[in-house]
Amino acid sequence: MPTPRRSLADDIRGRSDSELTDLVLARPDLARPSPADLTSLAARASTRASVQRAVEALDRGHLQVLEALVIEGGDVGDRPSTESPSSELDAAGRRDSEPGLFTLLGVESTGDRAVVTGLVDDLWRVGLLWRGDDREHHVVRTVPEVLGPTVAGLGAPIEELRPSLTPRHGDPEALRATIDAAPSPARAMLEKMTWGPSLGVLPQERAGSSSARWLIEHHLLVPVSADRVALPREVGLALRSGRLHRDTVLVPPEVTTRAVSLTDAVAGGSASELLTHLDELAAVWGAEPPRAVRTGGLSVRDLKATAAALDLDLDRSAFVVEIAYAARLVADDGEVVPVWAPTSEVDEWSASEAGHRWASLALAWARSTRAAHLVGRKVGSGLSAANALGPDVQWPAIRGIRREVLRELASLEAGLSPDAESLRERLLWRRPLRPASVLSDALDAVLREAEWLGVTGRGALSAPGRALSDALPGTASPRGRTGTADGASDSAGRAVAVAMSAHLPKPVDHVLVQADLTAVAPGPLEGSLASFMRLSADVESRGGATVYRFTPASVRRALDAGWTAAEFIDTVRRSSRTPLPQPLEYLVSDVARKHGQTRVGGASAYIRSDDESVLETMLAARELAPLQLRRLAPTVLVSGADPRVLVELLRDHGFVPIQEGQDGSVVHAEAPRRRAGSRRRAVPPAVSPVDADFTTTLVAGLRAAEASADERRAVEESRPGPRIPTTDPVVTLSLLRDAVAERHGVWIGVSDQGGGVARHLIHPRRVDGGRVWATDEGGREKSYSVHRITGATLETP
């Protein structure tokens, strides 16, 4: 009689500590929550949810080998079996002498067979296979359920489709002969179904229906409904000449690269430009925060306005907005009429060193589950396009794609830029179950955002990008998988900051003012000068150098903020490495001369001017009729409008007033700095990362729990008397009453206060009120609560 082989639980219990550590690191979901013992770990490893996660993480090589094992092996399951192994194995338990697996994969050379052997070992290491006593590999029971009914495009076995057929109908030689004898139209029909799908619709035309009838009569197709047929698995394999896959790709394809130079310098320039964009975003939204739409995002109109203010296209503006949100620099302020405003954290962030500012953005981008490239697209079943900062942009898969791209870029030598198409093929090999079109779009977006962010320069991974990749948790394939915490440590964040600081352009303290009223900043400006230039000039172009233009509106903006003409000119003269051109002095003087000629106060508001003709023009203007202006004196008008509204309307119609206070002093217009209030955030749960230290401790605990369970079983088996089964209280009461009537002894298990179970042989005398009165083995009278009796069985003579 064949000896029963082990189960998956036996395989798990028989693994060494290092093998158990590899298993948990490869499948961290097995450790959450911590299993009670190794048996519980094995049970969790065979659940559909856990197996599906493990299968989805396989690359194409491991997946093809797993599919071949499912098709080739008749013994699939987790429980002990008495079937004989299908092949002889060598001393290491490998399938070197088994031609079936290698034939399915189309592997012939010794080197390729060694690769397959390694992949099989990897699948065992991650718990998708288990080994019996004979070292034969068996597929975990739930793997075929996860792979689906059509593994590698093959249909169900012929005995499942038509149980009445005899085994000879699945004989490969007989099938091959039948296929060779098929008429040409029938053969063409089979060729269309060879590589999947295995289900087809019966043709309606006469010629097609006759070919299908011939195939059905010869059992090459099996009808599954009135108009559908299925190609049996055996027939599919015969059509494929015994190969499971059209192309067997066991190793990742190579990435085509080209050498590029100045990678770090270009990356530093991109990073500096991004920091400038975020400073400008905080300034723009701090002054005029856009409203949050009802669904919680940013409206298309406000995104376009932001793009115009930052001088960027919509895609890049959406990226800047999303990365600011991911880094908690902007947020919904939570008011009754919510707006998107900079948070209180933006002030501390702006004051910190540039490298640390960039590191916080890079880490936020790598950890974020939001996909900025989805902005403006229809996502899922939504009828409208996704808005920036909206819920439709949330896509957790993008975080894994970013990390996979960074890992592939980090595997290349410094200064090598990958070809996008070959990189796409490699990523598709890494994640074969992911839709190609979705992955292709995501890859293009990640590469584009990495260039904007400064993680890459001219397509190659920069030194700061490599530091960022090192700071992130690894997502290696089953072979050599590592486990780290989800999120970089503080030291890793500092390393990223230091790596970028060396390549950021140094802030400059000067500009080059030119006669055409422009000023060229040859690099990023230091804090105070940058604030002055943003206030007093408009950005005309960006790049390695930023070109600002002084205009009447920009000069008036500075004067409104409290700058005098003399202070303005003196600041520009001190900051310029070129002589101050006269046209700029004329511009500032001319704007300053007109600035404040007309003053507005509250009456609700009054207007006074020494130039009576200006007031006459205001009174005569139809456009100002809603202000209800009226003259109080030759040089004074009053209005019921708010002074700030009055100033804005007068400026809109060509006048240049300033506002004054009740004491006659000038009220300088400071740009408002709106900040979103800091919301109370729930304290995140303290979760230990599933890393090497945690896993080592977990495995030690599981070993101890298993040893304790074995010890309890040994003690239980060594005790006198029969094994006491766990019984229902109703059954226990019935058995005790029978023992009282028949004067039988009873073995009972009684739980104590410590949670243990003590065994007693008693002779019941009375059962009443939920208690049993009896004499024990020593003849002493005792009573026991029935609810503490875990089980009972009659004493055997």
| pLDDT top residue among 54 and 796 | 54
pLDDT confidence tier of residue 313, bands split at 50, 70 and 90: very high
Q: CA 36, 40, 43 angle in degrees (round to 5)?
A: 165
* Distance separating alpha carbons of residues 609 and 657, to the nearest angstrom: 9
Sequence-ordered alpha helix ranges (H) in 135-241: 142-147, 158-161, 172-180, 184-193, 206-217, 233-239
Q: Report the mean per-residue pLDDT for the chain.
A: 83
Mean pLDDT of 335-361: 89
- Reported as a single tens digit per residue, the pLDDT across 487-498 is 445 677 788 999
Residue 91 pLDDT > 50: no
- Reported as a single tens digit per residue, the pLDDT across 625-682 is 888 888 888 888 888 888 888 888 888 888 888 888 766 677 776 666 666 665 544 4
pLDDT confidence tier of residue 74, bands split at 50, 70 and 90: very low
pLDDT confidence tier of residue 603, bands split at 50, 70 and 90: low
- Reported as a single tens digit per residue, the pLDDT across 161-170 is 777 766 566 6
- Reported as a single tens digit per residue, the pLDDT across 95-133 is 343 347 888 888 888 888 899 999 999 999 999 998 877
Window from 16-20, 225-229, 576-580 with minimum mean pLDDT: 225-229
pLDDT, residue 489, reads 53
Cα 477 to the center of its chain, rounded Å: 17
- Reported as a single tens digit per residue, the pLDDT across 468-516 is 998 886 533 343 333 333 444 567 778 899 999 988 888 888 999 998 9
Phi, psi of 530 (to 5 degrees): -65, -40
| pLDDT top residue among 83 and 727 | 727
Q: Which residue, 463, 101, 441, is CA-closest to 248?
A: 101
Mean pLDDT of 21-33: 89
- Reported as a single tens digit per residue, the pLDDT across 371-415 is 999 998 888 766 688 999 999 999 999 998 999 999 999 999 999
Mean pLDDT of 332-352: 87
- The packing angle between helices 38-45 and 692-718, to 10°, is 120
CA distances from 358 to 192, 283, 307, 441 (A): 55, 18, 21, 26
Residue 178 pLDDT > 70: yes
pLDDT confidence tier of residue 703, bands split at 50, 70 and 90: confident
pLDDT, residue 256, reads 93
Maximum CA extent, the chain: 127
Cβ contacts of 585 within 8 Å, gap of 6 or more: 569
CB hemisphere CA count around 561 (13 angstroms): 18
Window from 61-70, 246-255, 520-529, 705-714 with minimum mean pLDDT: 705-714
Cα 765 to the center of its chain, rounded Å: 67
Residues of the chain with pLDDT > 70: what percent?
A: 87
- Reported as a single tens digit per residue, the pLDDT across 276-306 is 899 889 988 988 899 998 888 899 999 999 9
CA distances from 227 to 198, 201, 207, 217 (A): 14, 6, 16, 16
pLDDT confidence tier of residue 317, bands split at 50, 70 and 90: very high
Q: Is 775 helix (H, G, I), strand (E, B) or coil?
A: strand
pLDDT confidence tier of residue 340, bands split at 50, 70 and 90: very high
Residue 89 pLDDT > 70: no
320 CB burial (10 A radius; 0-12, 13-18, 19+): buried
Q: Which residue, 124, 139, 421, 86, is CA-closest to 255?
A: 421
pLDDT, residue 267, reads 93
pLDDT, residue 677, reads 62
| pLDDT top residue among 323 and 696 | 323
Mean pLDDT of 713-719: 67
> Tokens standing for 308?
């115009």
pLDDT, residue 173, reads 79
